[in-house]
């Protein structure tokens, strides 16, 4: 599989290293307008050079948010499989436009990079939830926060025209995707969106949101923030017969601490079993390799994209739009 990467910043470099380490393909060329580092691969002179290169089988889109929909459309239209970073667009309509093009090319695969689903801790949580060994989900709570400083103002993420939104679209979107991963869908949304500290119009620094699945009654609470002054990831799922509590997340930066999952099983009245807790620590981040393997496996064996599909993206951006409108 011959790969072209558009956008060779932090994420483009992570994708390139992972593709090479998994043996999934060969990097044919990369493009980055303002490249500040040396490159071990041939450099394309433009995005179109990669998109129109008939020798390239798949394109990785690792650009600022505003470019993503159009590059996905161009990639598919030029007969290439496409892997794109999140967010899939600036709004739901962006994703709808991409999906309309994707439908015209049923042999091509389009996948979005929501790598949190591929963390081993999340896989364990999903397995327990799907098995119903702890009963049905009652509610969920997610907190995802980070610190930023004045250098943030020099990045494209501080420009609403380029980013499309603030901390929710940048980071909270991952937590919301995990809520959907576990609960299926949400019908009601209530949210407060604010920029009390950084005061950048169109770039929120805090979102407090609640979502409800009307079929199951499951509610989920989300706090996405960049005024927490420390990095924190916490995901709690409470079920009828126990709970799953994940604190910390293994990332390339290492700032979120240890990835520790606590599985609690409540006491049973039927067999006099007492309550118990099991703590699982995940010391290696396998999410990048798992995600890349999933993408290329779908291509090579003509399988459906299970995680990060266009339908996943559409469902997610529908909730993002509703959250911002509240």
pLDDT above 70 as % of the chain = 99
Q: Show me where the domains of the chain are located.
A: 2-114+290-306, 120-249+251-284
Whole-number Å distance between alpha carbons of 106 and 124: 32
Segment 301-306 shows an average pLDDT of: 96
For residue 254, CA distances in Å to 150, 189, 257, 259, 286 come to 21, 32, 6, 10, 14
Beta bridge partners of 137: 239
Asked if the model's pLDDT at residue 99 lies above 80, the reply is yes
Task: Please report the pLDDT score of residue 271 as a whole number.
Answer: 66
Greater confidence, 267 or 75? Answer: 75
Per-residue pLDDT at 267: 86
What is the pLDDT, as a whole number, of residue 19? 97
For 120-249+251-284, CATH gives 3.30.360.10
Residue 250 and residue 282 in contact, taking contact as beta carbons nearer than 8 Å: yes
Q: What does the mean pLDDT of the chain come to?
A: 96
2-114+290-306 CATH: 3.40.50.720
pLDDT at 91 over 80: yes
- The confidence score (pLDDT) of residue 310 equals 98
User: Measured at the alpha carbon of residue 197, what is the angle toward residues 192 and 199, in degrees to the nearest 5?
Assistant: 85
Is residue 237 within 8 Å of residue 157, measured between CB atoms? Answer: no
Question: Residues 10-30: pLDDT tens digits?
Answer: 999 999 999 999 999 999 999
112-153: pLDDT as tens digits? 999 999 999 999 999 999 999 999 999 999 999 999 988 888
244-301 pLDDT per residue, tens: 999 999 998 889 999 999 999 998 766 667 789 999 999 999 999 999 999 999 999 9
Predicted pLDDT of residue 153: 87
Q: How confident is the model at residue 37 (pLDDT cuts 50, 70, 90)?
A: confident
Average pLDDT of span 166-170? 97
282's CB contacts (< 8 A; 6+ apart) are 119, 120, 121, 250, 259, 260, 261
Residue range 139-168: mean pLDDT, rounded: 94
Q: Which two tokens stand for residue 181?
A: 């991963």
Model confidence band, residue 36 (pLDDT cutoffs 50, 70, 90):
confident
């Amino acid at each position: 599989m011959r790969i072209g990467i558009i956008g060779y910043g932090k994420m483009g470099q992570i994708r390139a290293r992972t593709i090479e380490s998994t043996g999934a393909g060969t990097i044919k060329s990369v493009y980055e307008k303002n490249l500040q580092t040396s490159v071990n691969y041939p450099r394309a002179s433009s995005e179109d050079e990669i998109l129109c290169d008939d020798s390239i089988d798949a394109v990785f889109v690792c650009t600022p948010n505003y470019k993503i929909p159009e590059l996905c459309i161009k990639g598919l239209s030029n007969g290439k499989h496409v892997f794109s970073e999140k967010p899939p667009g600036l709004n739901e309509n962006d994703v709808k436009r991409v999906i309309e093009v994707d439908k015209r090319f049923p042999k091509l695969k389009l996948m979005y990079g929501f790598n949190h689903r591929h963390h081993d801790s999340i896989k364990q949580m999903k397995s327990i939830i799907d098995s119903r060994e702890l009963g049905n989900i009652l509610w969920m709570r997610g907190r995802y926060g980070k610190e930023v400083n004045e250098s943030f103002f020099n990045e494209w993420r501080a420009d609403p025209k380029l980013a499309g939104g603030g901390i929710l679209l940048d980071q909270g979107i991952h937590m919301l995707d995990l809520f959907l991963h576990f609960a299926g869908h949400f019908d009601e949304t209530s949210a407060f969106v604010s920029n009390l500290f950084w005061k950048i119009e169109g770039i929120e620094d805090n979102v407090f949101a609640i979502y409800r699945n009307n079929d199951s009654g499951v509610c989920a609470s989300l706090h996405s923030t960049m005024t927490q002054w420390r990095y924190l990831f916490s995901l709690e799922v409470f079920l009828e017969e126990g709970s799953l509590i994940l604190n910390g997340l293994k990332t390339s930066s290492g700032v979120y601490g240890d990835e520790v999952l606590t599985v609690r099983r409540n006491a049973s009245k039927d067999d006099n079993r007492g309550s118990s807790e099991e703590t699982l620590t995940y010391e290696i981040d396998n999410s990048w390799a798992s995600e890349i393997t999933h993408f290329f496996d779908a291509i090579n064996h003509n399988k459906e994209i299970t995680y990060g599909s266009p339908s996943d993206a559409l469902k997610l951006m529908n909730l993002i739009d509703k959250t911002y409108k509240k």
